[in-house]
Structure 1
Amino acid sequence: MNNILNVSAYLFVPLPDAAALREPLLARARTLELKGTILLAEEGINLFLAGAPEAVRALLAHLRDDPRLAGLQAKESWSDTVPFGRMVVKHKREIIRMNHPAIRPAQGRAPALDARTLRRWLDAGHDDAGRPVVTLDTRNAFEVDHGAFAGAIDWRMAKFSEFPDALRVNLADLQGKTVVSYCTGGIRCEKAALVMREAGLENVWQLEGGILKYFEEAGGAHFRGDCFVFDEREAVGADLAPAAS
């Protein structure tokens, strides 16, 4: 009956005390009987949680009580069961690993594109300035195989840390185009878009909220297949319900 609330959220923000936050946050999540994963690093927070709606929202409210995390935005979906086996809170070097320490999204983002504008651009085949638009999938190859935007560029990466090298090899193919990077929930796009701008590409956007936010605001237009998610649901459809196996 889809009474389990699933949320994903991230925020790039300096958290020099990330290691000290781990144990209290784990204790609170367990008290609320939540399951999922929270990653903490000096560059920010990344989380995937599931449980009773009031419990999930209570933890998010607790996080936002920290002024540094007040801007944390969550993407929601629903399921019949909790798709995680346990509750884990980890302290990591990066909340999404790229091995490119010069890229610091907390110091300034690349321009973000909302879902409805991307749908309109894809409908037209160009952006508002008349430039051709390409979507660049920043996910791993096995995720792309579940579903992707029609005609998306896919560099068949095995892990996200390969992105800077893949960009160097394929940079010339992106010149003169409007490039919209996308991923599941937006976190990889944050870094990918900055790397592309660092490489000299001028017309680079990141899809705000990733595929999940696109499904929520624009439906499944121009997307083929389902969106892989890192939990027991495996994938969700454009209606954000677990995909049929």
Structure 2
Amino acid sequence: MDSVLNISAYLFAPIDDRETLRATLRTLVEDAELKGTILLAPEGINMFLAGDPDRLRGFLDAVRSDVRFEALTAKESWSDEQPFAKMLIKLKNEIIRMDHPTIRPVDGRAPAVGPTDLHRWLSQGHDDDGREVVMLDTRNAFEVDYGTFTGAIDWRIEKFTEFPDAVHANREQLEGRTVVSFCTGGIRCEKAAIYMHDLGLTNVLQLEGGILKYFEEVGGEHYDGDCFVFDGREALRPDLTVQADEPSRRLPRRSALVND
């Protein structure tokens, strides 16, 4: 039986004391015997952690006791062993690099659609206004190769900093349709949706909680394949389990834990 709780969580919130916060979080994760990665940037926090369920949830409660992070929510999945080799807390300029400092989710989020509403739209073939829905994958190409929503647009970007140029080059694919941007856990598609709104593409939504939240609430309908995750499990099926009996499809990549 799977006994290790895995969580991914992020929140855009102003952080002006990263060194102090890193020390505080270091004490908390060591006390809870957790492993994984936490990224801290002036724009917010991003974390991928695994460990004992009670200790990990207690750690999250402690983080939420800081008023800046009280709205932090986590996507949960399970494994039968610890998927991380060590615990890292890193300071970054952005918790997901886009190189567009004017894109500031902390100042206001783009509109979002929840997994159950998206499932209904995809099943009926249009949104509630009768407009065609197009899914836009904001992840890197090697992640998309593990699985994506049926018929999703995939611009084969190699890193998220290429996304803005891809939008400009392919804008006609999005005009006149309801665009739902998505990613693994929500962080990239949140920035992507804001960027597209700033360009005047007003019918753009982000998938709340990303693919992992869709799997949790809906399952795998309208999704083909698995979801790549940046830890030792490699990829999760729509039931949030590891396909243990398949040979590894691990592909060359840069560094782990630089995503959402």
Matched residues, number: 245
SS of the residue aligned with 2:163? Answer: helix
1: CA distance, partners of 2:109 / 2:226: 28
Contact 1:42 1:93 in 2 (8 A): yes
| Alignment correspondent of 1:181 | 181
2: CA distance, partners of 1:86 / 1:31: 14
| Alignment correspondent of 1:239 | 239
2: CA distance, partners of 1:242 / 1:81: 11
SS of the residue aligned with 1:211? Answer: helix
Displacement, 1:172? Answer: 1.6
- Report the TM-score when normalising by structure 2: 0.93
Displacement, 1:116? Answer: 0.6
Matches within 5 A, 1:96-107: 96-107=96-107
Deviates more, 1:77-86 or 1:235-244: 235-244
Q: Alpha-carbon deviations, 1:80-111, whole Å to 9, x = none? A: 00100000001110000000000000100011
The letter of the residue matching 2:78 is W
Displacement, 1:204? Answer: 0.5
| Alignment correspondent of 2:128 | 128
Displacement, 1:24? Answer: 2.2
Q: Alpha-carbon deviations, 1:36-58, whole Å to 9, x = none? A: 00000110000000000011011
Displacement, 1:30? Answer: 1.5
Displacement, 1:243? Answer: 2.4
Any stretches of 5+ residues in structure 2 without a counterpart? 247-260
| Alignment correspondent of 2:155 | 155
Is the counterpart of residue 63 in structure 1 residue 63 in structure 2?
yes
| Alignment correspondent of 2:199 | 199
| Alignment correspondent of 1:11 | 11
Instruction: State the 4+ residue runs in structure 1 displaced beyond 4 angstroms.
Output: none
Q: Alpha-carbon deviations, 1:202-236, whole Å to 9, x = none? A: 10000000000000111101000000000000000
1: CA distance, partners of 2:226 / 2:27: 34
| Alignment correspondent of 2:230 | 230
Contact 1:19 1:40 in 2 (8 A): no
SS of the residue aligned with 2:15? Answer: coil
Q: Percent identity?
A: 62
| Alignment correspondent of 2:141 | 141
Any stretches of 5+ residues in structure 1 without a counterpart? none
| Alignment correspondent of 1:108 | 108
Indicate the RMSD between aligned Cα atoms, in angstroms. Answer: 0.7
2: CA distance, partners of 1:28 / 1:195: 35
SS of the residue aligned with 1:90? Answer: strand
| Alignment correspondent of 2:74 | 74
Displacement, 1:32? Answer: 1.2
The letter of the residue matching 1:176 is G
